């Protein structure tokens, strides 16, 4: 294939100057047949060819920090992505170290950056069993007091960002794995199962337009856990509890994508719900000498393409968020020793085969 650099300079000149108008050899292609330049970013391709589907990334410690890696991160962020999710800064513990203190500084900067760069921002997360502050988990709250804390939190945080976010993860990971009973979180123990419904109603009261999501992992394919979430949301829809979408986290293992993801997405969509892939990463074995094998990275690349393609195919799906930019900044190796390299960029911000595969999909190749 012809190298873009061989004919690109001619685009700035007249055709005649490039040999196109004088009867000599035609070395300039007409503009409408010039192939996609490889420099088109994921964002550019998505916005021109698939405007329904936003491409997001979780932003954490590298956001506006004073080091070289942060500068690389901040350059790539608005070039390649048109959505972001604060990875930790909106969680109950980091956001609210005491009952009286709401520390919005970092999350505000992320949301402001998104707005300034015409990117969407997802709110993650209002109600979860992890990353809660000691004052909350150690307190001896009555049910009424716990309800008051839950509702004051949601009113303050959702109200703070009213009109600025594309979506909120209102409740995260309420179900256990396996037979999928409700998880015995601080909220379940102090309030009971109606904490979920109360959270959605409080969020809607604080922002009438933001899309409200239930978010979880291991609910991407058919199974006991996605059945439980399906039944919860079917009941909410039937009773008018305000829920707009289901977030499928998609923390996957290369070569092990759920085979029934399309059917599962279709049944949630049939309830009238939107779908977002909210925390995509696809891990590979990294313990071999030299790190991840080329074969595992090729499988990972195909899997990334498959997940993005599902979102392009299912009309109800309007966003895919990858859970971090580089392999060096992912939660995966710390949680799954011997596994990692789960993202689109390697530790040095080089695009991986997974990046190329997603770009090829978006470009129609």
CA distance 358 to 58: 17
CA distance 154 to 37: 45
Position 276 contacts ligand G3I (CB under 6 A):
no
- Using the rule CB under 6 A, which residue among 65, 103, 130, 145 binds ligand G3I? 130
Closest to ligand G3I by CB, 20 or 340: 340
Q: Per the residue annotation, which of 80, 87, 173, 220 is the catalytic one?
A: 173
Angle, to 10 degrees, between the axis of helix 261-270 and the axis of helix 224-239? 10
Residues 6+ apart with CB under 8 A from 346: 326, 327, 328, 352
Peptide bond into 125 cis (omega under 30): yes
Closest to ligand G3I by CB, 249 or 299: 249
Query: Based on C-alpha coordinates, what's the Rg of the chain?
Result: 23
- Using the rule CB under 6 A, which residue among 80, 87, 89, 207 binds ligand G3I? 87
For residue 250, give Cα distances in angstroms to 221, 276, 299, 327. 10, 10, 16, 16
- Per-residue x/- mask for ligand G3I, residues 323 to 362, rule CB under 6 A? --------x-------------------------------
Q: How far is the CB of 131 from ligand G3I (least distance, A)?
A: 5
- Residue 173 catalytic? yes
Closest to ligand G3I by CB, 131 or 350: 131
Closest to ligand G3I by CB, 125 or 362: 125
In a 3-state reduction of DSSP, which class is residue 3? coil
Position 185 contacts ligand G3I (CB under 6 A):
no
Unique residue bearing structure tokens 């856990």: 225
- Per-residue x/- mask for ligand G3I, residues 226 to 255, rule CB under 6 A? -----------------------x------
Position 279 contacts ligand G3I (CB under 6 A):
yes
Phi, psi of 39 (to 5 degrees): -80, -5
Q: Per the residue annotation, which of 80, 87, 220, 279 is the catalytic one?
A: 279
- Using the rule CB under 6 A, which residue among 26, 64, 65, 131 binds ligand G3I? 131
- State the DSSP string of 42-85: HHHHHHHH-TT-EEEEEE-TTTT-SSHHHHHHHHHHHHH-SEEE
**Total chain residues near ligand G3I (CB under 6 A):** 10
Q: Which positions lie near ligand G3I, rule CB under 6 A? A: 60-61, 87-88, 130-131, 172, 249, 279, 331
Active site residues: 173, 279
């Amino acid at each position: 294939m012809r190298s873009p650099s061989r004919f690109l300079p001619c685009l700035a000149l007249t055709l005649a100057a490039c040999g196109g108008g004088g009867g000599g050899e035609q070395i300039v292609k007409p503009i409408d047949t010039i192939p996609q330049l490889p420099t088109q970013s994921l964002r550019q391709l998505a916005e021109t060819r698939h405007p329904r589907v936003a491409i997001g990334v979780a932003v954490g410690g590298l956001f506006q920090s004073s080091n070289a890696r942060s500068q690389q991160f901040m350059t790539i962020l608005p070039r390649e992505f048109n959505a972001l999710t604060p990875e930790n800064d909106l969680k109950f513990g980091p956001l609210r170290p005491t009952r009286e203190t709401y520390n919005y500084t970092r999350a505000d900067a992320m949301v402001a950056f998104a707005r300034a760069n015409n990117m969407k921002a997802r709110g993650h997360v209002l109600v979860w069993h992890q990353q809660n502050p000691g004052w909350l988990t150690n307190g001896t709250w009555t049910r009424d007091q716990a309800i008051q804390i839950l509702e004051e939190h949601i009113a303050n945080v959702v109200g703070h960002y009213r009109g600025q976010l594309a979506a909120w993860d209102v409740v995260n990971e309420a179900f256990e794995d396996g037979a999928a009973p409700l998880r015995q979180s601080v909220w379940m123990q102090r309030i009971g199962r109606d904490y979920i419904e109360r959270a959605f109603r409080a969020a809607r009261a604080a922002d009438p337009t933001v899309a409200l999501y239930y978010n979880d992992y291991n609910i991407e394919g058919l199974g006991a856990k996605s059945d439980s979430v399906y039944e919860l949301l079917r009941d909410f829809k039937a009773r008018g509890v305000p829920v707009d979408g289901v977030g499928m986290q998609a923390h996957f293992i290369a070569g092990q994508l759920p085979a029934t993801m399309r059917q599962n997405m279709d049944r949630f969509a049939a309830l009238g719900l939107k779908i977002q892939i909210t925390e995509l990463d696809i891990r590979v074995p990294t313990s071999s000498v030299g790190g991840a094998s080329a074969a595992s990275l090729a499988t990972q690349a195909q899997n990334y393409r498959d997940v993005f393609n599902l979102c392009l195919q299912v009309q109800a799906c309007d966003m895919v968020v990858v859970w971090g930019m580089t392999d060096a900044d992912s939660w995966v190796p710390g949680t799954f020793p011997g596994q990692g390299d789960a993202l689109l960029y390697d530790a040095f911000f080089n695009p991986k085969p997974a990046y190329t595969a997603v770009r090829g999909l978006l470009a129609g190749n």
